[in-house]
Chains A and B, each alone.
Chain A
Amino acid sequence: MRPARRGFLRAALAASATGALPRLSWADAGAPAYLAAAKTPDGHYALHGLTAAGAARFQIPLPGRGHAAAAHPSQPLAVAFARRPGVFALVIDCALGETRARLEAPPGRHFYGHGAFDAEGARLYTCENDFEAGEGRIGVWDASDSFRRINELPSGGVGPHELLFDRAQGRLIVANGGVQTHPDSGRAKLNLPMMRPNLAYLSPETGAALEIIEPPKALRRNSIRHLSLRADGAIGIALQWQGDLPEPVPLLATHRFGAPALTFLEAPEPEQLRLQGYGGSVAFSGDGALLGVTSPRGGRAHLFDIESSTFLGAAALPDVCGLASHGDGLLCSDGLGGLHRLGADVAPTTLKRHNLAWDNHLVGL
């Protein structure tokens, strides 16, 4: 955003100091449709706001490599997480381009890179590792009061990588990846033979487990990592296989609260093998008819028709990872700066190419 516009916003806020405090909205940040972190060619990192056509609305420098961001439902606030095992997150005012607050993980905890606001934007929930206990935690922060930490909940498993807040049902949905790590060992995985990932539905007040779903035994090494929520409560899940890959494994699943098991989706074997056991991001199309998964390792995006559980096809997109809904299709971002739309015909249309490397995730607003 141009400094002049920021100056204007600041002046407007100051002028109204005597009256009710005006709340800035996402419109004041240029009404972006997406948030995404990226690396610039000179090696710096920034959080970007993007329109549906892929044009930049703002860019705000980040101190290090980002991962995902949590967007406030009404105010132009984005919480940018450092990559795991990061111990801080920044609450960025995307209208003013400044840091509003800095979240520090408490001693003995680190963030995983994902978090989510509740329906009103009053609470922020963050995925955390209690690394001495080897258990997952959900940090609860008061988003209305300078982001003070007010509570901590059990995540229902180990390695909670991403969480979503189901605003319609008032439930937390957590992807417990099952992989135990300790910052002393960097990103090394400590418990692969025993890992037990799960999808946990939690009460946001008490952390009580409302439902916990594990993959079948043969797929215990399939780490449940990333999530997407459809308006009707269906969950899309991207998985990462933690083991040898003699057989292809499914890397995409769906679940619905109350269903006894995950429903796995996979492409024909030769195509499935191209994903190299790694699902990077998952998203439903805006109309909920399609579900996609990306694999940066395979440079592929796979698309499925949900209703019939059919594989629609694969798009070859080198270094693709970010995925979010885009009308009745999906938007993909890649490490080469590309933003591509993918519809049911699975033929990607490049909307825009920025001179940037898009990081792992695209966050839809």
Chain B
Amino acid sequence: MRWLLLAVALSAASPAMAEPEPKALAAAAVETHVLPAYERLKNAAGALVEAAPSCDGDTLRPAYHALYDAWMGVQHIGFGPIERDNRRFAVAFWPDSKGFAKKAQDRLTAEQDPVVDDPEAFEKISVAGRGLLALERLLYDENGEIALGEGYRCRLARAIATDLARTAGRVVSEWQAPAPPATVRDLFASLDGGLQALTDLRLGRPLGSFANPRPRRAEAWRSGRSLSNIQLSLTALRDLCETAFAPQLPDSDRDRLAAGFEKTAQLAERTPSPLHEAVATPAKRIAVEALQTQTRALQGLVREIVAPAVGVSITFNSLDGD
């Protein structure tokens, strides 16, 4: 795809072609936004595998956080190899309101299932028993950090790390293989869906209602990542918007979008952490609600400005089913 990037650069430099083609921008966004982010995921997963043999929580926890950070840079990308074979859920099985992750882990540890010593077999266990959230359960409980020990739980942590690295490695290598190009619509759906997930899942689920907040529905609350996941996702979504779409917009619209992302980032910055405690504390909850109002408004702004500019319609069946 490198030649496409060159084509964009050339067309941008040529006065005859003032506006880059949406298709070329989609290709450029893959090259500059998608692929490097998956490379970071792969590298972070590799570092986790290197940290795993120690069985030392203090070594593993930073590697876990670095990998989760990298995941937040790609989790909004809703197309390509991550969508194959349930890989997305094998990396991060969330939300999980029915507690499948706990059930899967309890079963493995109760049976001391030797599946953890065989990466190929481990790939076939429930996705809820694999991935970042499964690893989090080994490193944190509801009161914070816990020791990993040198027994079965350590073997399980190694298995999860290896599994994550295999998944990330496959995704990267399949991205390098020839494939149908990403479309403008794929990229728009990733941006729109990522913003919606902030409102509905990452904020909406723990917020619940005023009378009934649901702190444990926050993403990765045990390791205190809920708010930083929102911030990292916002950063990634802004990068996608600026790479794939902003070059096609008039300056005024570009400024409005930039201001919208900026305002959202500021509100996220001001939101009290940890998020799962904030939603259940009336004085702090209001800031979480304000952030949710803003992420919803930001999605509206993106739909208003970006969708028509790149020729993506989001009406008909999806907004008006029967």
Which A residues fall within an 8 A CB radius of B? Answer: 39, 67, 83-84, 113, 161, 240, 246-248, 268-271, 273, 278, 280, 296-297, 299, 313-314, 316, 318-321, 334-336, 357-360
Q: Are A360 and B322 in contact (CB under 8 A)?
A: yes
Partner of B317, one of A240, A270, A271, A360: A360
CB of B308 to closest CB in A, whole Å:
14
A interface footprint on B1-33 (CB within 8 Å = 1, 0 otherwise): 000000000000000000000000000000000
Residue numbers in B under 8 Å from A334 (CB-CB): 317
Q: Do A335 and B315 touch (CB < 8 A)?
A: yes
CB-defined interface of B81-124 with A at 8 Å, one 1/0 digit per residue? 00111101100111111101000000000000000000000000
Known: A270-B93, A297-B318, A360-B321. 20 other contacts (CB 8 A): A67-B322, A161-B322, A246-B97, A246-B205, A246-B208, A247-B98, A248-B95, A268-B86, A268-B100, A271-B89, A273-B95, A280-B321, A296-B316, A297-B321, A314-B83, A316-B189, A318-B314, A319-B314, A319-B318, A336-B313
In contact, A270 and B314 (Cβ under 8 angstroms)? no
A280–B317 touching, CB < 8 Å: yes
Q: Choose among B79, B86, B214, B321 the residue that contacts A316 (Cβ–Cβ < 8 A).
A: B79
Q: For A67, what are the chain B residues with a Cβ–Cβ distance below 8 Å? A: 322
Q: Which residues of B contact A296 (CB under 8 A)?
A: 316-318, 321
Complex CA–CA separation, A84 to B208 (angstroms): 33
Interface centre among A247, A270, A280 (most CB of B within 10 A): A270
Contacts of A280 in B (CB 8 A): 317, 321
User: Which A residue sits closest to B183, measured CB to CB?
Assistant: A318
B302-322 with Cβ < 8 A to chain A: 313-318, 321-322
Output the nearest chain B residue to A268 by Cβ-Cβ distance. B89
**Contact between B98 and A268, CB atoms less than 8 A apart:** no
In the complex, 9 of the A-B residue pairs with CB atoms within 8 angstroms, ordered by the A residue number, are A246-B205, A268-B89, A269-B95, A270-B92, A270-B95, A273-B95, A280-B317, A296-B316, A336-B313
For B, the interface residue count at a CB cutoff of 8 angstroms equals 33
CA distance A129 to B180 in the complex (A): 47
Task: Give A315 Cβ to nearest chain B Cβ, in Å.
Answer: 9
Q: Is the CB of A335 within 8 A of B86?
A: no
CA distance in complex: A250, B316 (Å)? 24
* Whole-angstrom distance between the Cβ of A348 and the nearest chain B Cβ: 11
Give the residue of A84, A269, A320, A360 whose beta carbon is less than 8 angstroms from that of B96.
A269
> From B320, which residue of chain A is reached at the shortest CB distance?
A296
Residues of B251-283 contacting chain A, CB below 8 A = none
**A67 to B317 alpha-carbon distance, docked (Å):** 11
A297 CA to B313 CA, complexed, in Å: 13
A113 to B322, CA, bound (A): 9
B316 lies within 8 A of A335 (CB): yes
Residues of A contacting B89 in the complex (Cβ-Cβ under 8 angstroms): 268, 270-271
Q: Judging by beta carbons under 8 Å apart, are A248 and B316 in contact?
A: no
Which chain A residues border B139 with CB–CB below 8 Å?
none
Check if A84 sits within 8 Å of B95, measured CB to CB: no
Q: Which of B97, B208, B316, B317 has the most CB of A within 10 A?
A: B317
